[in-house]
Amino acid sequence: MITSDRKQSQTSHRFKAFEELKNSPDVPLLPLPNLQVFLEDSAARRNITHDPTFNTILTQIKLVLYHLIASEGAFTDIRYIIEKIIQNVEAAKAALGRRLGSNREFVRQDLCNFLQRDTPAIIFKSTVLQSWNWGFVNKGEEVGAAENELFLSMDLMQALQNPATQDLLNISQDLLDQQKLRLSVLWKITFMHELMHATTKYFLSPEVITPNIPGLEGDGEGHGEAGWSLENWYLGYKLEAIWMKEDVEKPH
Ligand SMILES: [Zn+2]
């Protein structure tokens, strides 16, 4: 049975991502000719793709994309998620056939082409007073759903781009370094999670971003979670944001 096979292989997949990173430090520095990164507020979208002020975050974006392009392990898990969905959703299978231009299987080159050539636009937007936390990809029914883009928290990005100083936080340098590392891991996993949603949207149509499928992770409220499935299998755990609303609200 696929489910029990999956459960068995989960143990050996645990920490696979870290092993891969440790053992293959030479992630190829591929060109990302169509990468577009924006800051968005209520007034406009500003293109920061080549703005050196944002080098920290631009480097992180490229690192995650290079990693997913280079990682056999990540591809194996992404393919598993895609296969699981097309086994259960006829419309997704048809959409994949249209995207690939034939009835063949989804292969690693397809994922690489998407990430490297048809890279989703990355838009940083403020999370304060929004109903989403760290990131999202528009679903089919929403305006602009056909767009190949994903949204990430501007606040999380700015914390990474302009980290708080030791003086401000009144903590040791050691603790500050640990905090920065945690933030950077959190950000990378968030981006990877949203790239999973962008991948299913691109290959399986905007209506089938993350359906509720037996064997895939769910959000506990009846919705599927392809992003958490990838986190759980590829990294060995999944992240969840739990915070007090009043902690993140602007003062009135
Ligand atoms: Zn998700």
How many angstroms does the Cα of residue 200 sit away from the middle of ligand 1?
Answer: 11
Residue 245 lies in a domain: no
Strands of the sheet with 149-153, listed across from one edge: 45-47, 37-40, 121-125, 149-153, 135-136
Residue 96 lies in a domain: yes
How many residues would you count in the chain?
252
Residue 178 lies in a domain: yes
pLDDT for 42: 79
**Total count of domains within the chain:** 1
The pLDDT tens digits of the residues spanning 65-113 come to: 988 998 889 999 999 999 999 999 999 999 999 999 988 999 999 999 9
CB-CB neighbours of 9 under 10 Å? 15
Place of tokens 């992240």: 239
The pLDDT tens digits of the residues spanning 138-179 come to: 876 666 667 899 999 998 898 888 877 777 778 888 888 888
Residue 91 lies in a domain: yes
Residue 247 lies in a domain: no
> Is residue 58 pLDDT above 70, yes or no?
yes
How many angstroms does the Cα of residue 154 sit away from the middle of ligand 1?
Answer: 17
* Domain enclosing residue 102, as ranges: 2-236
The pLDDT tens digits of the residues spanning 122-136 come to: 999 987 666 667 888
Number of separate helices (H) and strands (E) present in the chain: 11, 5
pTM: 0.83
From start to end of the chain, where are the E strands? 37-40, 45-47, 121-125, 135-136, 149-153
Residue 39 lies in a domain: yes
Residue 214 lies in a domain: yes
pLDDT for 127: 76
Please indicate whether residue 44 or residue 247 has the higher confidence score (pLDDT).
Answer: 44
- Cα three-residue angle 24-30-35, rounded to 5 degrees: 125
How many angstroms does the Cα of residue 210 sit away from the middle of ligand 1?
Answer: 8
Q: Which residues pair with 46 in a beta bridge?
A: 39
Query: For the chain, what percent of residues have pLDDT higher than 90?
Result: 41
Tokens of 106: 């989804």
46 with 170: CB under 8 angstroms? no
Residue 54 lies in a domain: yes
How many angstroms does the Cα of residue 199 sit away from the middle of ligand 1?
Answer: 12
How many angstroms does the Cα of residue 228 sit away from the middle of ligand 1?
Answer: 6
